[in-house]
């Protein structure tokens, strides 16, 4: 732990008096002028952007992070309530289309410093080594320009910084975690019981929720509102795991600043900084290096909205790669009804997972696989599930009154990257006058087979645990891709170090660079990829 | 009722479920909540916001629609339409819309008008003035269309719009939490007794644990 503190002091920079924000650190923050030529400006202070900021600030770079949303204070801004957490999500307008359109909002992306990890569940599994070569091994998806080995040291670093709690992990590249597994609540208990009875291996973790005190971050209080932002500071998000250390090393975080375009010099072919709007005023921050980290919808949208003479179809879009190969995971949720009370709202929704079905099974007609995890919807989300099942009226109320008896598992199915699943610009404009994103999604046959297979396994587990009835609803989870890394510019937007092929001082360091998604939640991998990109930059990649 | 704030009460909603958690009242715990959350939740049991977005005719249709969707008959009931109206006024959408749907405000206005049209065709009355039974039949017909066309809109996408807004407003209310045994906010106290069939001292056991809605015993 001492070693972590030497690399990243964030947890020790938070207050230890029961309040959650170090206001002093924010007030004393260094502030740059728009006219200063800073070393790096980062668009988006989420998983990828914050990691990059912290790494480079530590190395003495002058860095500014802009975020469209607020600089959150968990005490004042967040509530222990579902409906009251609406402001955590990116709810600027977006259009969804395709044969299987993917609803956005609360289910996909966040805004404000900390990004989507403010309201992510908190699962932090690694990808498997096989994820980096699915094209070679399985004939689907894509090969990454880097391998698991390249990322492994960064996985280990980030797991210590969050920190991650869980049992020894037997899947993928077997590894252990810095913290012991948490005790489980009703939903985790049901999963473990059902998995055991049906001969499936399930493990507690891996979650980025501190088990015990970590620096000045307290222990989890098992209150179940992880998806509404952790008011306790127990669940990791960059707001508390990377931003404090970045501030202490001279970074500026400029919140409420919506970036509307990337500046470009036609003569040198280099990025010059970013156009942004703050308090209604259009401004321009000069920078020697620009990194975009707005996540899989906003990053491609920003590139497409940054057209110039050199890039008539959007920056870095010479080969029509921007916005393509966007992925979501198929995330069916299967719930089981028990005579006993499960009360799944008590404990963090992320508790127990199984990656036994993650890899391609040669005996199955489909490629790649899925993982299974506890998910524990709160009442509003649960009601929307029930309504989606077709229940309404008195019937809906009866179902809802049965809430304490239900246990709910979710699968993450590795949907395959397809060129037609992409972001384009819609006719509709946002309040800044910028075209909004149109996100089109259609499933392929392999995707559909995975969802059915995952549903079968979840039903089997819940029945084995003693459920008398099970129901399933189809959902999606997570986004990655949209500006993927590749070995050359005809197949992607950035190289293995996150540097764009077309503009030498433009980087993308967020979930949009992932070429495949595995059956793992993506945040840890996004942070590891950004940390690796940072190492490349500090090694002289500017 | 305990706690310094002298909170309002969260009345038992007129019955659809039988009182499964007798005596359970989430607002009894308000003194254990952080003030920011407590303020928000208590605002929901106070006076609902004034209607600003819906016209009177739309308000009437929306109220009838939400009453039927949420199985609310007589008083007392949870006022959901003022909260939907507030969200539409403030354009607090879910952050996306289906490409084949107009934006939410227009979609609400149009779909309420179509309910009136359907209702007039079925029973010669505006939707709000039709009997509960006729209202249910009109709603059921929309649901039965699935992904098919309803007045030029995809019926399933209209269904999603209605139920998302209605469920969010209803299940944000402490009276609805009382009905389902959910204690609501849990900060800063948290939970000390997670686990199957484990309860906090202030949680109330389900009085009718075999009322499984799936096999009809709960009806
Ligand atoms: C409900 C939910 C549960 C999840 N659960 C998990 C989980 O358990 N485990 C997991 O690994 N992942 C989970 N995720 C996904 C995870 O949170 C994201 O994959 C991850 O945070 C993405 O990182 P990112 O850096 O790409 O973008 P983000 O973290 O989303 O950061 C992007 C930031 O950029 C800002 N931004 C965007 N555009 C602009 C602009 N033009 N100008 C200025 N700022 C801009 C946004 O405000 C945002 O703060 C979950 C997500 C959701 C929604
Ligand atoms: S359950 Fe734990 S990690 Fe989740 S919000 Fe509550 S205290 Fe934070």
Q: What distance in Å separates the CA atoms of residue A339 and residue A468, rounded to the nearest whole number? A: 8
DSSP-assigned beta bridge partners for residue A265: A270
- β-pair type (A435-440, A95-97): parallel
Assigned token pair, A83 = 């409906």
Strand ranges in A198-269 using DSSP code E only, listed in sequence order: 203-204, 252-254, 257-265
Q: What is the DSSP code (8-state) at residue A343?
A: -
Mutate to test the pocket of ligand 1, among A116, A131, A165, A207 (most ligand atoms within 8 A of CB): A116
Nearest to A101 among B41, B99, B169 (CB): B99
- β-pair type (A257-265, A252-254): unpaired
Q: Find which of B10, B24, B195, B215 to mutate to test the A interface (most A CBs within 10 Å of its CB).
A: B195
Q: What distance in Å separates the CA atoms of residue A29 and residue A19, rounded to the nearest whole number? A: 19
A539: Cβ contacts below 8 Å, ≥ 6 apart: none
With an 8 Å Cβ cutoff, are A347 and B209 in contact?
Answer: no
What predicted TM-score, i.e. pTM, was given to this entire model? Answer: 0.95
Q: What distance in Å separates the CA atoms of residue B118 and residue A25, rounded to the nearest whole number? A: 61
Diameter over CA atoms, chain A: 71
Q: Residue A329's closest CA among A456, A516, A175?
A: A516
- β-pair type (A281-292, A506-508): parallel
Q: How far is CA B30 from CA A302, A347, B27, B46, B169, in A?
A: 44, 20, 5, 15, 20
Query: Is position B51 within any domain?
Result: no
Mutate to test the pocket of ligand 2, among A230, A346, A350, A376 (most ligand atoms within 8 A of CB): A230
Q: Residue A370's closest CA among A401, A335, A399, A334?
A: A334
With an 8 Å Cβ cutoff, are A103 and B196 in contact?
Answer: no
CB A345 within 8 A of CB B182: yes
Mark whether B62 and B158 lie in a shared domain. Answer: yes
pLDDT of residue A107: 62
Cβ of A118 closer than 6 Å to ligand 1, yes or no, is no
Assigned token pair, B105 = 């405000």
With an 8 Å Cβ cutoff, are A384 and B164 in contact?
Answer: yes
Residue A303, CB-side half-sphere exposure with 13 Å CA sphere: 34
Cβ of A163 closer than 6 Å to ligand 1, yes or no, is no
Residue A286 burial class via C-beta count within 10 angstroms: exposed 0-12, middle 13-18, buried 19 and up: middle
Residue nearest to atom 46 of ligand 1 (CA): A111
pLDDT tens, position by position, B130-142: 999 999 999 999 9
Question: Into how many domains does chain B fold?
Answer: 2
Q: What distance in Å separates the CA atoms of residue A244 and residue A291, rounded to the nearest whole number? A: 20
Residue A262, classed as helix, strand or coil, is strand
Mark whether B132 and B153 lie in a shared domain. Answer: yes
pLDDT tens, position by position, B113-165: 999 999 999 999 999 999 999 999 999 999 999 999 999 999 999 999 999 99
Ligand 2 atom nearest to A233, measured from its CA: 8
With an 8 Å Cβ cutoff, are A91 and B189 in contact?
Answer: no
Assigned token pair, A311 = 């890039």
- Interval between CA B51 and ligand 1 midpoint (Å): 35
Mark whether B3 and B90 lie in a shared domain. Answer: no
Q: What distance in Å separates the CA atoms of residue A324 and residue A339, rounded to the nearest whole number? A: 47
Q: What distance in Å separates the CA atoms of residue B8 and residue A255, rounded to the nearest whole number? A: 37
Contacts of B214 in chain A (CB under 8 A): 337, 468-469, 471
Q: Find which of A18, A76, A81 to mutate to test the B interface (most B CBs within 10 Å of its CB).
A: A81
Assigned token pair, A450 = 């995975």
| Chain centre to alpha carbon of residue A175 | 22
Q: What is the DSSP code (8-state) at residue A220?
A: P
Mark whether B196 and B113 lie in a shared domain. Answer: no
Q: Find which of A21, A78, A83, A90 to mutate to test the B interface (most B CBs within 10 Å of its CB).
A: A83
Strand ranges in A184-316 using DSSP code E only, listed in sequence order: 203-204, 252-254, 257-265, 270-278, 281-292
Q: Residue A113's closest CA among A238, A265, A293?
A: A238
Mark whether B65 and B120 lie in a shared domain. Answer: yes
Mark whether B75 and B164 lie in a shared domain. Answer: yes
Contacts of B187 in chain A (CB under 8 A): 80, 221, 223, 225, 231-232
Q: Is the peptide bond before B182 cis (omega within 30 degrees of 0)?
A: no
Nearest to A392 among B40, B69, B194 (CB): B69
CB A141 within 8 A of CB A156: no
Nearest to B16 among A79, A383, A398 (CB): A398
Ligand 1 atom nearest to A301, measured from its CA: 41
Assigned token pair, A72 = 């959150």
CB A48 within 8 A of CB A482: no
Q: What angle do CA B136, B141, B142 make, to 5 degrees?
A: 100
Look at A324 and B13; give whichever has higher pLDDT.
Answer: A324
- Interval between CA A274 and ligand 1 midpoint (Å): 20
pLDDT of residue B210: 83
Q: Residue B65's closest CA among B51, B54, B81?
A: B81
Mark whether B70 and B160 lie in a shared domain. Answer: yes
ipTM of the complex: 0.93
Output the tens digit of pLDDT for each of chain A's 542 residues. 458 999 999 999 999 999 999 999 999 999 999 999 999 999 999 999 999 999 999 999 999 999 999 999 999 999 999 999 988 888 777 888 999 888 776 666 789 999 999 999 999 999 999 999 999 999 999 999 999 999 999 999 999 999 999 999 999 999 999 999 999 999 999 999 999 999 999 999 999 999 999 999 999 999 999 999 999 999 999 999 999 999 999 999 999 999 999 999 999 999 999 999 999 999 999 999 999 999 999 999 999 999 999 999 999 999 999 999 999 999 999 999 999 999 999 999 999 999 999 999 999 999 999 999 999 999 999 998 899 889 999 999 999 999 999 999 999 999 999 999 999 999 999 989 999 999 999 999 999 999 999 999 999 999 999 999 999 988 898 999 999 999 999 999 999 999 999 999 999 999 999 999 999 999 999 999 999 999 999 997 55
Residue B182 touches partner A, C-beta closer than 8 Å: yes
Q: What distance in Å separates the CA atoms of residue A437 and residue A434, rounded to the nearest whole number? A: 9
Give buried/exposed letters for A168-192 (b at 16+ CB in 10 A, else e).
ebebbeebebbbebbebbbbbbbbb
Ligand 2 atom nearest to A235, measured from its CA: 3
pLDDT of residue B219: 36
Residue B116 touches partner A, C-beta closer than 8 Å: no
Mark whether B84 and B34 lie in a shared domain. Answer: no
Nearest to B187 among A76, A231, A393 (CB): A231
Backbone phi, psi, residue B36, to 5°: -65, -45
Mutate to test the pocket of ligand 2, among A162, A223, A224, A347 (most ligand atoms within 8 A of CB): A223
Ligand 1 atom nearest to A479, measured from its CA: 19
Ligand 1 atom nearest to A124, measured from its CA: 11
- β-pair type (A469-473, A435-440): unpaired
pLDDT of residue A92: 75
pLDDT of residue A105: 64
Residue A352, CB-side half-sphere exposure with 13 Å CA sphere: 25
Q: How confident is the model at residue B15 (pLDDT cuts 50, 70, 90)?
A: low
DSSP-assigned beta bridge partners for residue A254: A66
Q: What is the DSSP string of chain B?
A: --STT-----PPPSSSS--SSTT--GGGGGGGB-HHHHHHHHHHHSPPPPP-SS-HHHHHHHHHHHHHHTT--SSS----HHHHHHHHHTT---S-EETTS--HHHHHHHHHHHHHHHHHHHHSS-GGGS-HHHHHHHHHHHHHTTTSEETTEEHHHHHHHHHHHHHHHHTTSHHHHHHHT-----TBT--S--STT---TT----S-TT--GGGTTT-
Give how far A264 is from chain B: nearest CA, Å.
Answer: 30
Q: Find which of B187, B199, B214, B218 to mutate to test the A interface (most A CBs within 10 Å of its CB).
A: B187
Give how far B23 is from chain A: nearest CA, Å.
Answer: 15
Backbone phi, psi, residue A364, to 5°: -110, 150
Assigned token pair, B154 = 């995809």
With an 8 Å Cβ cutoff, are A400 and B70 in contact?
Answer: no
Give how far A183 is from chain B: nearest CA, Å.
Answer: 9
Mark whether B126 and B108 lie in a shared domain. Answer: yes
- Interval between CA A74 and ligand 2 midpoint (Å): 12
Q: Is the pLDDT of residue B215 over 80?
A: no
Contacts of B139 in chain A (CB under 8 A): 392
| Segments forming the whole domain that contains residue B126 | 56-170
Q: Residue A507's closest CA among A32, A38, A49, A33?
A: A49
Q: What is the DSSP code (8-state) at residue B213?
A: G
The average pLDDT across B50-76 equals 95
Give how far A496 is from chain B: nearest CA, Å.
Answer: 32
Ligand nearest to C-alpha A217: 2
Residue A90 touches partner B, C-beta closer than 8 Å: yes
Type and span of the H or E element at A469: strand A469-473
pLDDT tens, position by position, B81-94: 999 999 999 988 88
Architecture of domain A2-72+111-541: 3-Layer(bba) Sandwich (3.50)
Q: What is the 3-state secondary structure (H, E, C) of A113-144?
A: CCHHHHCCCCECCCCCHHHHEHHHHHCCCCEC
Q: What is the CA radius of gyration of chain A?
A: 22
Domain ranges of chain A: 2-72+111-541
Q: What distance in Å separates the CA atoms of residue A101 and residue B175, rounded to the nearest whole number? A: 34
Helix B56-69 vs helix B155-170: crossing angle, to nearest 10: 80
Residue B41 touches partner A, C-beta closer than 8 Å: yes
Mark whether B80 and B10 lie in a shared domain. Answer: no
Mark whether B86 and B130 lie in a shared domain. Answer: yes
Give how far B97 is from chain A: nearest CA, Å.
Answer: 5
Mark whether B93 and B157 lie in a shared domain. Answer: yes
Q: How confident is the model at residue B95 (pLDDT cuts 50, 70, 90)?
A: confident
């Amino acid at each position: 732990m001492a070693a972590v503190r030497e690399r990243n002091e964030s947890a020790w920079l938070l207050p230890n008096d029961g309040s959650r924000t170090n206001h002093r650190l924010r007030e004393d923050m260094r502030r740059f002028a728009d006219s200063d030529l800073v070393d790096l400006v980062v668009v988006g202070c989420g998983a990828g952007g914050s990691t990059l900021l912290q790494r480079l600030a530590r190395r003495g770079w002058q860095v500014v992070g802009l975020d469209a949303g607020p600089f959150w204070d968990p005490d004042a801004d967040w509530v222990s309530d579902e409906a009251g957490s609406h402001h955590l999500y990116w709810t600027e307008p977006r259009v969804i289309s395709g044969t299987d359109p993917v609803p956005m909002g609360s289910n996909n992306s966040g805004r404000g410093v900390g990004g989507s990890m403010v309201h992510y569940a908190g699962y932090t599994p690694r990808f498997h080594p096989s994820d980096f070569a699915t094209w070679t091994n399985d004939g689907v998806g894509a090969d990454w320009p880097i391998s698991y080995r390249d990322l492994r040291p960064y996985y280990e670093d980030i797991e210590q910084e969050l920190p991650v709690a869980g049992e020894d992990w037997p899947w993928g590249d077997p590894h252990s975690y810095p913290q012991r597994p948490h005790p489980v609540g009703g939903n985790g208990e049901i999963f473990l019981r059902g998995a055991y009875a049906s001969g499936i291996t399930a493990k507690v973790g891996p979650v980025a929720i501190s088990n015990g005190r970590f620096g000045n971050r307290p222990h989890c209080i098992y209150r179940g509102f992880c998806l509404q932002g952790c008011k306790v500071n127990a669940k990791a998000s960059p707001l508390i795991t990377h931003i404090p250390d970045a501030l202490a090393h001279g970074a500026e975080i400029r919140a409420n600043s919506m970036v509307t375009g990337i500046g470009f010099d036609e003569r040198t072919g280099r990025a010059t900084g970013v156009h942004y709007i703050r308090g209604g005023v259009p401004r321009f921050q000069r920078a020697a290096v620009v990194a975009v980290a707005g996540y899989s919808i906003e990053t491609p949208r920003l590139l497409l909205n940054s057209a110039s003479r050199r890039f008539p179809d959007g920056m870095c879009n010479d080969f029509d790669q921007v916005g393509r190969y966007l992925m979501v995971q198929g995330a069916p949720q299967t719930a089981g009804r028990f005579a006993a009370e499960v009360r799944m709202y008590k404990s963090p929704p992320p508790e127990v997972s199984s990656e036994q079905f993650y890899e391609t099974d040669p005996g199955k007609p489909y490629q790649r696989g899925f993982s299974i995890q506890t998910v524990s919807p709160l009442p509003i989300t649960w009601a929307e599930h029930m309504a989606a099942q077709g229940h309404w009226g008195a019937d809906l109320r009866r179902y809802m009154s049965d809430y304490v008896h239900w246990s709910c598992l979710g699968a993450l199915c590795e949907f395959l990257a397809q060129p037609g699943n992409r972001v384009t610009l819609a006719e509709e404009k946002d309040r800044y006058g910028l075209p909004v994103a149109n996100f089109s999604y259609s499933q392929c046959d392999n995707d559909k087979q995975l969802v059915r297979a995952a549903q079968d396994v979840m039903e089997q587990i819940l029945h084995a645990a003693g459920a008398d009835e099970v129901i399933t609803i189809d959902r999606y989870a997570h986004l990655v891709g949209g500006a993927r890394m590749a070995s050359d510019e005809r197949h992607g937007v950035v190289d293995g170090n996150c540097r764009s092929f077309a503009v030498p001082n433009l980087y993308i360091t967020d979930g949009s660079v992932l070429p495949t998604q595995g059956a793992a939640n993506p945040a840890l991998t996004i942070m590891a990829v950004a940390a690796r990109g940072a190492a490349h930059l500090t090694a002289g990649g500017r | 009722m305990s706690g310094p704030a002298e909170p309002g009460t969260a009345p038992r909603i007129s019955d659809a479920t039988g009182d499964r958690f007798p005596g359970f009242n989430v607002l009894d715990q308000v003194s254990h909540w952080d003030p920011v959350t407590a303020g928000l939740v208590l605002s929901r049991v106070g006076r609902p916001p004034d209607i600003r977005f819906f016209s009177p005719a739309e308000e009437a249709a929306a109220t009838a629609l939400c009453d039927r969707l949420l199985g609310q008959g007589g008083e007392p009931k949870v006022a959901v339409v003022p909260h939907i109206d507030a969200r539409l006024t403030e354009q607090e959408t879910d952050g996306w819309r289906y490409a084949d749907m107009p934006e939410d405000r227009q979609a609400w206005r149009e779909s309420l008008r179509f309910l009136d049209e359907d209702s007039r065709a079925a029973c010669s009355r505006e939707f709000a003035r039709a009997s509960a039974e006729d209202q249910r039949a009109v709603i059921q017909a929309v649901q039965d269309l699935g992904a098919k066309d309803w007045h030029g809109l995809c019926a399933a996408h209209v269904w999603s719009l209605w139920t998302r807004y209605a469920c969010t407003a209803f299940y944000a209310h402490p009276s609805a939490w009382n009905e389902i045994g959910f204690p609501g906010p849990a900060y800063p106290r948290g939970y000390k007794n997670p686990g199957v069939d484990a309860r906090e001292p202030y949680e109330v056991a389900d009085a009718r644990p075999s009322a499984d809605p799936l096999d009809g015993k709960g009806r």
